[in-house]
Amino acid sequence: MKFLSNLFKKKIGSVDDILIYPEGKRYYRDNHPVRKSMIDEDAVKIIHRLHKFGYKAYIVGGGVRDLLLGRKPKDFDVVTNATPNQIKKIFNNCRIIGRRFKIVHILFKGKVIEVSTFRSLPEHRFEKPVEDQDYLIKRDNKFGTPQEDAARRDFTINALYYDIRNDSIVDYVGGYEDIQSRQLRVIGNPDISFREDPVRMLRAVKFAVLLGLKIDKGTSKSIKKNAFELEKASTSRMLEEYNKIFRTWRTSLIFQGMAQNHLLEVLFREAFEKERRKNPDFGDKFLETGIGRRLVIADKLLSEREELTPQIFYALLFCDLVQDATSKKGGHLVASLKQSLEPIFQRLGTPKKDKERLIKVFASQERFTHTEDDKASQNNFFRKKDFFYDAFYVFKINAIAENNDQTLQSAFFWEISLRKRPVLPNSIGGGGGGKKEGGRPNRNRNRDRGGRPDRGPRHNKQQSSDSSKEEKGRGSDSDDSFDSED
Q: Which residues are catalytic?
A: 75, 77, 154
**Secondary structure of residue 443 in the 3-state scheme:** coil
Q: Exposed, middle or buried, 486 (CB in 10 Å: 0-12/13-18/19+)?
A: middle
CA distance 115 to 306: 35
Taking Cα atoms as reference points, which of 111, 116, 86 lies closest to residue 100?
116
The DSSP result for 250-313, as a single string, is -HHHHHHHHHHTTGGGTTTHHHHHHHHHH-TTTTTTGGGSHHHHHHHHHHHHHHTT----HHHH
Taking Cα atoms as reference points, which of 304, 313, 298, 335 lies closest to residue 268?
313
- Identify the DSSP state of 383: H
Across the strands, what pairs with 155? 186
**Secondary structure of residue 222 in the 3-state scheme:** helix
Across the strands, what pairs with 103? 97
Between CA 105 and CA 309, with CA 234 as vertex, the angle to 5 degrees is 80
Across the strands, what pairs with 462? none
Distances (CA, A) of 199 to 132, 153, 205, 480: 19, 13, 10, 11
- Beta carbons of 152 and 122 less than 8 angstroms apart: yes
Q: Residue 66: CB partners within 8 Å, gap ≥ 6?
A: 72, 73, 74, 482, 486
- Identify the DSSP state of 7: H
Between CA 348 and CA 484, with CA 462 as vertex, the angle to 5 degrees is 55
- Beta carbons of 331 and 338 less than 8 angstroms apart: no
Q: Exposed, middle or buried, 177 (CB in 10 Å: 0-12/13-18/19+)?
A: middle
CA distance 183 to 255: 20
> Which helix (H) or strand (E) is 108 found in, with range?
strand 103-108
274, amino acid identity: K
CB neighbours of residue 381 within 10 Å: 10
Half-sphere exposure of 77 (CA within 13 A, CB side): 28
